[in-house]
Amino acid sequence: MKNHSEDVTGLSIENLKGIGRERARLFAKLNIKTIGDLITYFPREYEDRSSVKKIGELSDGDCCSFKGVIKGRVSESRIRKGLSVFKAVIEDETGALQAIWFNQRHVAKAFKPMQPYMFYGKIIKNVGKLEVHNPVYEVFDGEEPASTCRIMPVYPSTSGLSQNIIRSAVRSALDLVDGAITDPLPAWLKQEILLKDYYYCLKNIHFPDSMKDLKQARYRLVFEELLILQLGLLSIRESLKGSRKGIAFKKCLEVEQLIEDLPFKLTNAQRRVFREIEADMESSTVMNRLVQGDVGSGKTVVAALALFKAVRSGYQGALMVPTSLLAEQHYRFIGNLLERYNIKTSLLTGSMSKKEKQLVCDELREGTTDIVIGTHALIEENVTFRNLGLVITDEQHRFGVRQRTALLKKGENPDMLVMTATPIPRTLALILYGDLDISIINELPPGRMPVKTYVVDESMRPRINAFIRREVLEGRQAYIICPLVEESEQMDLQSANELAQRISKEDFPDLKVGLIHGRLSPKEIEGVMAQFVQGKIDVLVSTTVVEVGVDVKNATIMVIENAERFGLAQLHQLRGRVGRGTHQSYCILYNQSDSRVARDRMEAMRTTNDGFVVSEMDLHLRGPGEFFGTRQHGIPDLKIANLYRDIEVLKKVQYYAYKILYGDRNLEHAENSGLKKMIKIRFEERLKEISLN
Ligand code: ADP
Ligand code: MG
């Protein structure tokens, strides 16, 4: 059955033999609606049935295909209610073995006498005799076997859809598209890096002729998927630049004065990144820029400079952060810094009273407030601006694309700056933030001593406690983080309380111990935190609310209980809370687990202080999905590629993506039309979102 119309992949799967309304409904649950969906519904794993033996060669433990006839009849015995056993003897010219099926009524009448069948199953030795349980079977008629003697795909499924139904649907879909689909990759590219043909790869990803064919097919499909992803993101970035006219902020020499007035000298990296931002802001296209920098690299001040510049051009600026703790802190720093320049900064968080919030909203609408710093409260409907020109989100990993977009919509094509403290290697950043320009602050302010990290167990507690006491007596402060956070509030409250009790009554009766946990109101948290900032608390016991951004220079010890329960990126964030001043700082990780992974993670933390390296290791040890939450970044789901495992392919892809765009910026050449079409399909949602704002 061949159909040469171009759009065969867009046809409903109901056009396939054996798929009616009801089955189509089940397939829809797997997000399979069209022929195209079906042929790109890739197997989860494979079962290798390709080893074929004579019955006489079979031995215990083999997983093999073998040919034979059924000798005599299939016998049935009812062992008990709900358990029927069907037995038969299979033989060939070299030997015989017993086949046993459990509760498979259909086998009773399945076999014709003298007819050869192919079987596949696991061979088991039972009381000296070979048996095979629940073997798969099919008529052997000289045609190529469908379910035996080959590598079989295993698909993610849903109840009501057996592997066999999916397999045969995929098979018919592949037959249908044979000769009717165009290869999205340009021919020169396939030649240059020896990629196999599209149809060949589709066929072999589902029904590979050999492991080698499977590998080649997978390589090409991974390459193709990543290429389309990368090209899509890069073209979105280009089109955002080209089509969206933004604000051309004025040159602002006064910013040099502000830089002079800072309490410290900017690092070269901070300077360079601010220059990149300045250039973006002064150009008439919309800025979409990501600032990456390790914890403590000084991103906040760069944000402050950009906000200053926006205000001096007559616009308002907004800075959104994930917690009110962080909002307060930025408000203090930026508010104080810019007050001298007659710039009004306001704070807006969910914990403020209705009246306070209303006041800020009024001022923003009227334009009497220049800069607002706040939490998610900023994206609430009643917040409006007179002329919002610059939107910054800090600790980007805590926000989704949607929240960012919601804030952007409050202005008229405002410039956007995104700051992240989970720095990631460039190769990955190009995928995850492919639609943003990237600046990297790759230098820490001078005089910072690397935090010393120790991995310890319970037996070390007395010594650690003595150490904390000594530091406190010298005037320093400590954090103790316990991990039971949001998951179970009951547990959480109890354990955080118990821990605080134990720490204040037993471990440090002589020190001032404070407690922060998820059950406190934001106001209460602010209160405790303020005491810590003012040095009225020596030891702060906390859940992970201090994870992002908190900056208390005098704190030099970070103790993390049950460190094995945290991800590496999170541990690195927590560790980044100390080592912010000029005193030597320490991070102490209590590891309660013997597991290999836990030990590897602790070792990773101990041996490096570099956030980029940490995130790379996190990828190794956890896998990228968990770490990044690709969905949240607004990136289409990956069907076959794995950002960590396929990192080498990704590097190659990036080279070719640039090469293709260099020759054909808008993918208008005929040879790139397949790619363009695929990008449209994969980025449908993202493209909709962009045209919204
Ligand atoms: P992060 O990049 O983690 O957000 P912050 O912006 O909170 O880092 O900066 C960390 C600390 O370093 C702050 O106390 C800040 O005032 C200080 N800082 C920033 N830049 C410099 C600099 N160039 N020299 C000295 N200290 C700096
Ligand atoms: Mg920060």
CA of 679 to the centre of ligand 2 (A): 35
**Order of all β-strands in the sheet with 288-293:** 345-348, 371-374, 316-320, 388-393, 415-420, 288-293, 437-441
Band the pLDDT of 3: cuts 50, 70, 90.
very low
Q: Among residues of the chain, what percentage have pLDDT more than 90?
A: 60
**Is residue 439 classed as helix, strand or coil in its secondary structure?**
strand
Q: Is the per-residue pLDDT at 644 higher than 60?
A: yes
Please write the tens of the pLDDT for every residue from 469-495: 999 999 999 999 887 544 454 555 556
State if residue 421 touches ligand 1 by the CB under 6 angstroms criterion: yes
Please write the tens of the pLDDT for every residue from 194-227: 999 999 999 999 999 999 999 999 999 999 999 9
CA of 451 to the centre of ligand 1 (A): 15
State if residue 266 touches ligand 1 by the CB under 6 angstroms criterion: yes
Q: Is the per-residue pLDDT at 672 higher than 60?
A: yes
CA of 580 to the centre of ligand 1 (A): 8
Q: Return the minimum-mean-pLDDT range out of 331-345, 392-406, 595-609.
A: 392-406
The label of the residue with tokens 């934001």 reads 522
Sign of CA dihedral 190, 193, 196, 202: negative
Q: Among residues of the chain, what percentage have pLDDT more than 70?
A: 91
- Residue 243 has a pLDDT of 65
* pLDDT, mean of residues 439-461: 91
- Residue 618 has a pLDDT of 76
Judged by its nearest atom, the ligand closest to the C-alpha of residue 551 is: 1
Residues in the chain: 693
Tokens standing for residue 688: 């909709």
Tokens standing for residue 147: 């379910």
Closest residue by Cα to atom 5, ligand 1, is 298
> Which of 300, 395, 578 is the pocket-test mutation for ligand 1 (most atoms within 8 Å of CB)?
300
Phi and psi at 379, nearest 5°, equal: -90, 5
Rounded Cα gap, residues 359 and 356, in angstroms: 5
Cβ distance 374 to 325 under 8 Å?
A: no
CA of 606 to the centre of ligand 2 (A): 23
The 3-class secondary structure across 344-413, one letter per residue, is: CEEEECCCCCHHHHHHHHHHHHHCCCCEEEECHHHHCCCCCCCCEEEEEECCHHHCCHHHHHHHHCCCCC
Which H or E run contains 417?
strand 415-420
Decide which of 433 and 182 is more confident: 182
> Which of 578, 580, 583 is the pocket-test mutation for ligand 1 (most atoms within 8 Å of CB)?
580
First to last CA, the chain: 46
Alpha-carbon Rg for the chain, nearest whole angstrom, is: 32
Rounded Cα gap, residues 299 and 287, in angstroms: 17
